[in-house]
């Protein structure tokens, strides 16, 4: 009788646990049943116009769906076939292309870059002589981001590679992880050279076509394609504001691709095939395993769920609640995406959105993973909402601090028209300062036009509108021995030292 009562008690407890959502071991015949409602709720909470999601288990897609609309000016519904920009998820295609060529003996991870590209030259001599393909793909060249070099630039790939020699390094060669889109551009050029074609042509012929990823494109979808999510940025109170599509794709191997949830599910299936000899795949096991193995540690703030992070080849590799998670996020003007998979659990997810600076992909992907693994529930939306709030407050506090430096008692040394002129940098090109009729200075950097607000002395704030670079940066003019203004130092990006633009001598026209 005592044994019978114990069995009944266990049965009752098991039934109760099965009715409590989020409990470990919860009995749930369809763990993703709540995904549509969850995705729609999170999308609306973050003010994202459109979201597409696909979930893969093993060699099949178990869920795909679309939520919201193509844009604030286009209320057609998002579907799993809607095209979104995937930004830096492109890097996983570039690294895979390189691994295929290594497997075929046409490239070698440890070959020197300069052997194939003699015009590759960095300020650091050791990096120039010893940099390899693997160094490029693992972000350990010592070069910081320098994104203002390529952002909206109309330079060609070889021209941009030729300008790398003028960029300052911020760490010794192979000393640490420093994310660099420019180095993936160089890797793309190596892939083109080794395959006697272009990076785009190789990826199209050897990856996209065999995987039947027919709605994955480079730079933008064809003009004839109508099911395309429109790009948006973060506005006040999480309101989405439409932005123009990005242009300027020399750095394409780092971030130029666009795709759909359905196509990206095929990409996940291909990577999950590693170690499963019974699955049909276009990639040898050794190619996939080389891509997923951590190479260089990534300095991040550890958490209980994510204590360690590293970079592999075209993918981040980190621990997630005791499991290996391979993933990459992607951001380009108006789009934000995430592709992630757990190779040992044989599951993957892609989340695509058409608004920058949101955390919908992280919230939805972690909810899906936790449900599929029957892990205890975590309120990821609340956690990422708090991180987002703190980030915005820190940004606001920083500019409040800067604005507090404004000193009406420290006017510019020279009359404003003395600052008017063109200023050149051998890598970044031309920065132009002009005088407006209302008495203010204006600035122009490529197609970024704006106005200069005086801060103190020779320091001004350049206000402009660029989704990828922010909306302002600080610039300080200098003069030689109190004479004519001869240069301006501009802090174009966090983590990069101020870039000095030299004043152009009258008649000199060496800029782009």
User: Whose CA is closest to 311, among 178, 408, 402?
Assistant: 178
pLDDT score for 196: 97
pLDDT of residue 13: 33
Kindly state whether residue 449 falls inside one of the protein's structural domains: yes
Q: Please check whether residue 227 lies inside any domain of the structure.
A: no
Tell which residue, 212, 227, 213, has the closest CA to residue 79. Answer: 227
pLDDT for position 237? 81
- The answer to whether residue 498 is domain-embedded is yes
Query: Does residue 2 lie within any of the structural domains?
Result: yes
pLDDT digits (tens, 9 = 90+) for 86-112: 999 999 999 999 999 999 999 999 999
Rounded CA separation 453/337 (Å): 35
Q: In terms of Cα–Cα distance, which of 132, 159, 164, 127 is closest to 145? A: 164
- The reported pLDDT for the residue numbered 506 is 66
The answer to the question of residue 477 being in a domain is yes
Burial track 453-492 (b if 16+ CB lie within 10 A, e otherwise): ebbeebbbbbebebbbbeebbbbbbebeeeeebebbbbeb
- Which residue, chain included where needed, has tokens 């600080």? 474
Q: What is the pTM of this model?
A: 0.91
Question: What residue numbers bound the domain in which 3 lies?
Answer: 1-30
Quote the pLDDT of residue 509. 52
Residues of the chain with pLDDT under 50: 1-26
pLDDT, tens digit, 9 for 90 and up, residues 102-151? 999 999 999 999 999 999 999 999 999 999 999 999 999 999 999 999 99
Residue 430 lies in a domain: yes
Nearest to 133 by CA among 188, 215, 83: 188
Say what the alpha-carbon torsion angle 389, 307, 271, 329 is, to the nearest 10 degrees: 20
Residue 411 lies in a domain: no
Residue 3 lies in a domain: yes
- Here the CATH number for the domain that contains residue 479 is 2.40.128.600
Maximum Cα–Cα distance across the chain: 103
Q: What angle do CA 52, 58, 61 make, to 5 degrees?
A: 30
For the chain, how many structural domains are there in total?
2
């Amino acid at each position: 009788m005592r044994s019978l009562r114990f069995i009944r008690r266990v049965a009752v407890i098991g039934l109760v646990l099965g009715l409590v959502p989020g409990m470990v071991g919860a009995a749930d015949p369809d763990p993703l049943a709540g995904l549509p409602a969850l995705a729609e709720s999170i999308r609306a909470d973050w003010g994202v116009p459109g979201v597409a999601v696909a979930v893969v288990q093993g060699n099949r897609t178990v869920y795909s769906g679309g939520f919201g609309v193509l844009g604030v000016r286009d209320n057609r519904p998002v579907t799993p076939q809607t095209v979104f920009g995937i930004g830096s998820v492109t890097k996983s295609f570039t690294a895979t292309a390189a691994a295929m060529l290594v497997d075929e003996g046409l490239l070698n991870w440890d070959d020197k870059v300069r052997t194939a590209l003699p015009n590759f030259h960095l300020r650091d001599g050791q990096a120039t002589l010893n940099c390899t393909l693997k160094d490029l793909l693992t972000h350990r060249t010592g070069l910081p981001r320098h994104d203002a070099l390529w952002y909206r630039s109309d330079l060609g790939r070889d021209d941009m590679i030729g300008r790398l020699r003028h960029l300052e390094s911020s760490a010794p060669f192979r000393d640490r992880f420093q994310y660099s889109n420019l180095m993936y551009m160089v890797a793309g050029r190596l892939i083109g050279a080794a395959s006697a074609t272009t990076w785009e042509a190789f990826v199209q012929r050897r990856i996209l076509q065999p995987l039947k990823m027919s709605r994955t494109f480079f730079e933008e979808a064809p003009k004839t394609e109508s099911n395309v999510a429109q790009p948006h940025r973060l506005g006040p109170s999480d309101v989405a504001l439409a932005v123009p599509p990005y242009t300027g794709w020399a750095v394409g191997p780092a971030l130029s691709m666009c795709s759909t949830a359905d196509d990206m599910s095929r990409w996940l299936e291909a990577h999950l095939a590693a170690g499963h000899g019974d699955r049909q795949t276009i990639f040898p096991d050794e190619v996939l395993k080389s891509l997923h193995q951590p190479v260089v540690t990534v300095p991040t703030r550890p958490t209980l769920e994510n204590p360690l992070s590293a970079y592999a080849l075209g993918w981040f590799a980190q621990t997630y609640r005791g499991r290996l998670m391979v993933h990459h996020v992607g951001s380009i003007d108006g789009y934000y995406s995430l592709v992630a998979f757990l190779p040992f659990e044989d599951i993957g997810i892609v989340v695509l959105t058409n608004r920058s600076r949101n955390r919908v992909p992280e919230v939805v992907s972690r909810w899906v993973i936790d449900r599929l693994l029957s892990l205890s529930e975590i309120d990821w939306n609340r956690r990422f909402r708090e991180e987002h709030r703190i980030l915005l407050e820190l940004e606001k506090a920083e500019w409040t601090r800067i604005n507090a430096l404004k000193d009406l008692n420290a006017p510019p040394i020279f009359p404003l028209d003395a600052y008017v002129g063109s200023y050149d940098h051998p890598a970044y090109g031309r920065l132009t300062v002009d005088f407006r009729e209302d008495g203010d200075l204006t600035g122009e950097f490529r197609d970024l036009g704006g106005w200069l607000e005086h801060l103190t002395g020779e320091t001004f704030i350049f206000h402009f509108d660029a989704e990828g670079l922010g909306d302002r940066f600080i610039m300080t003019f200098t003069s030689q021995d109190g004479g004519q203004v001869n240069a301006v130092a501009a802090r174009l990006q966090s983590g990069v030292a101020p870039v000095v633009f030299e004043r152009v001598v009258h008649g000199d026209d060496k800029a782009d």
